[in-house]
Amino acid sequence: MIQTSPRAAWVALLAVSLAVFVAALDLTVTAAVLPQLIFDFDIPLPDGLADAAWIVNGYLIAYVVTMPVMGRVSDLYGRQLVFLVCLALFVVGSIAAALSTSLWPMVAARVVQALGGGAMVPVALAAVSDAVPERNRSLAIGLIAAVDTAGWVAGPSYGAWINTLLGWRWVFWLNVPLGIIAAILVVVALPRSTRTSHRLDIVGAGLFTLFLLAFTMALYLGAPASPESGLMARPGEVEQSPWFWPLLLLSVGALAGFVRWEQRMAEPLLDLRLLAGRTFAAANSVSLLTGIVLMAVMVEIPVLLQAVSSSVEAATAESGWLLAFFAGGMVLGALLAGPLLRFLAARWLTVVGLLLMTLGLWQMANWEQLLGTDALTMPLALAGLGLGLVTTPLATAVLDRVAEEERGIAASLVLVARLLGMTLGLSVLVTWALRRFDVLIAQEEMPSLFAENGPELAAQIAAGVTATVVTDLFMVTVIVGLVALLPAMLIGGRGNVSE
């Protein structure tokens, strides 16, 4: 255990939290400035929208892929050094993004940003676990979880505000001084750890990265949503990429090769006993399932508002308002989880969080249009509060049970599980929603478009069916939440990795 003074430990927490917040902002910040980027880069519409989406998707994919390897590198070469390298990558990528004058240089710059930004979260979790005394560890982890959530929630609003005041390039330029400030604080407060005698498993790192890259891209390309047609597009209108099945098969092969290779290595990238450990497997299972729920809520609330609102502008404003309650609940839950872990075991706090989340989702599933959209605010806040309460005990349970030299890779896998769950939620649940829409709309007697008020009546019927599909989808997430209770009950207290 690296010893550091309490003051230095909390300054270190401030430093890594600042960096995590800025990186989380950039997960979603381009959602607000993408229309301006399309205009400035002369991207043709609508044909160029699929390419423009890689400004967002490239960041998300690189964000996921970099986590495990850099988490393990921090175990071997020290948290401070690796965190500073990640910050440097993020700042360099930000400068390149600010200077970009066309699409693909911007995509490349965003990938560089994400290679640094994605790695900062697990390295930060491992670093504070090393530096903060054990009695305060859950508080520190809860703060990082809250900061991370607040960052990606605030991203679109922050991006719109900066774009209005200064222009989109300043969204990226402002990352530079913030990154420099965080780096100075990290150098001052985060203890330097000595490099271990272990070596990085290069082949294992390559195979696992290939698995994550191929699997994530397959899910993105296989999702029935596209920038051109929206999330409630007809399945026949969105052509699945011919790369979907080859990428999926490649990911399976890479994963099989990774497991086989790791079994032969004396110093593997990932000790497979971690995956077999009861608490580790349970925590990652819960993280995956809550990721599915998180993405379902984030995607389907805007879809629901688009169906029942009077205009696109009203739908945008109302969905932002409702999701603010959801995100606020998540931030509050993450902050409360740290103190609560002093009195409740990680297992029981996770169960409480899942029950609150599921109760909120059940209330959303029983929502009726006559109640108005304001009736969704408290259920969304409750579901968010439950999700926030779950995040901290999952990370704490895992980090408490692994050795210091394995905390980077352990923290990264919990985060990767949630992000893969979010990607699965986008791909699988939206596919289910589209098919459910087909079934329900076929049961309706649609008026002729040439009849008096025919288009208006048809639009009303489609909106009603859409609202039904969304509430049905929330009932599916209720089932997912209940299923998550099963692995949650297997989360143990402190102990060795096999438990």
Same structural domain for residues 32 and 181?
A: yes
Mean pLDDT is lowest, of 79-93, 94-108, 141-155, for 141-155
Residues 297, 169 within the same domain: no
Tens-digit pLDDT profile for residues 227-273: 333 334 444 444 567 888 899 999 999 999 999 999 998 888 888 88
* Structural tokens at position 213: 């890259």
pLDDT of residue 230: 38
- Does residue 79 lie in a domain region? yes
378 and 308 co-located in one domain: yes
Residues 172 and 284 in one domain: no
CB–CB of 385/333 below 8 Å?
A: yes
Tell me the CB-side half-sphere exposure of residue 353, using CA atoms within 13 A.
35
The residues, any chain, with a CB within 8 Å of residue 266's CB and separated by 6 or more, are none
If asked whether residues 261 and 278 sit together in one domain, one would say no
In a domain, 231, yes or no: no
Q: How far is the C-alpha of 58 from the C-alpha of 106, rounded, in Å?
A: 10
pLDDT score of 223: 60
CA 296 centroid distance within chain: 12
Please give the residue that has the higher pLDDT: either 438 or 488: 488
What is the separation of C-alpha 139 from the centre of its chain, rounded to a whole number of angstroms?
21
Locus of tokens 């750890």: 193
Least confidently predicted of 110-124, 255-269, 315-329, 438-452: 438-452
In a domain, 37, yes or no: yes
Residue at 287 is within a domain: yes
DSSP string, 335-401: HHHHHHTTTS-HHHHHHHHHHHHHHHHHHHHT--GGG-GGGGHHHHHHHHHHHHHHHHHHHHHHHHT
Main-chain phi, psi angles of 226, to 5 degrees: -150, 155
Give a yes or no: residue 489 inside a domain: yes
Claim to verify: residue 314 and residue 349 sit in the same structural domain: yes
Half-sphere exposure of 279 (CA within 13 A, CB side): 24
Q: Which long-range contacts (CB under 8 A, 24 or more apart) does 221-224 make?
A: 221/247, 222/248, 222/427, 223/426, 223/427, 223/430, 223/431, 224/427, 224/430, 224/431, 224/434
Reading the block at residue 313, the tokens are 């502008």
Tell me how many domains the chain contains. Answer: 3
Residues 6+ positions from 7 with CB-CB distance below 8 Å: none
User: Are 103 and 149 within one domain?
Assistant: yes
| Cα–Cα–Cα angle for 477, 482, 487, rounded to 5 degrees | 120
Is 55 part of any domain? Answer: yes
Question: Do 262 and 310 sit in the same domain of this protein?
Answer: no
Quote the CA–CA distance of 376 and 325 in Å, as a whole number: 9
List 226's β-bridge partners, or say none.
Answer: 230
Q: Identify the residue with better confidence: 397 or 199.
A: 397
Domain shared by 384 and 321, yes or no: yes
Examine residue 232 and state whether it is found in any structural domain, yes or no. no
Residue 292 has pLDDT above 80, yes or no: yes
In a domain? residue 295:
yes
Q: How many angstroms separate the CA atoms of 121 and 212, rounded?
A: 17
Provide the pLDDT for residue 226.
Answer: 41
Q: Which amino acid is at 416?
A: V
For residue 245, give Cα distances in angstroms to 238, 256, 389: 16, 17, 37
Q: By three-state DSSP, how is residue 71 classified? A: helix
| pLDDT for 408 beyond 60 | yes
Residue 152: C-alpha distances to residues 35, 148, 226, 390, 465 (Å): 19, 7, 21, 18, 31
Higher-scoring residue by pLDDT: 140, 86: 86
Q: In the predicted model, is pLDDT for residue 119 greater than 60?
A: yes
Q: Which two tokens stand for residue 416?
A: 């990767």
Q: Please count the residues of the chain.
A: 499
Q: What is the pLDDT of residue 227?
A: 37
Here the CATH number for the domain that contains residue 69 is 1.20.1250.20
Most confident among 26-40, 279-293, 404-418 (mean pLDDT): 279-293
Shared domain for 242 and 288, answered yes or no, is: no
Type and span of the H or E element at 122: helix 103-131
Query: How far is it, in rounded angstroms, from Cα 411 to Cα 124?
Result: 9
C-beta separation of 93 from 84 below 8 A: no
Other beta carbons within 10 angstroms of residue 463's beta carbon come to 16
- Same domain for 309 and 255: no
Q: Do 149 and 251 belong to one domain?
A: no
DSSP three-state, residue 226: strand
Q: Is 402 helix (H, G, I), strand (E, B) or coil?
A: coil
Report d(CA 161, CA 264) in Å as an integer.
53
Q: Which domain holds residue 251?
A: 202-226+237-268
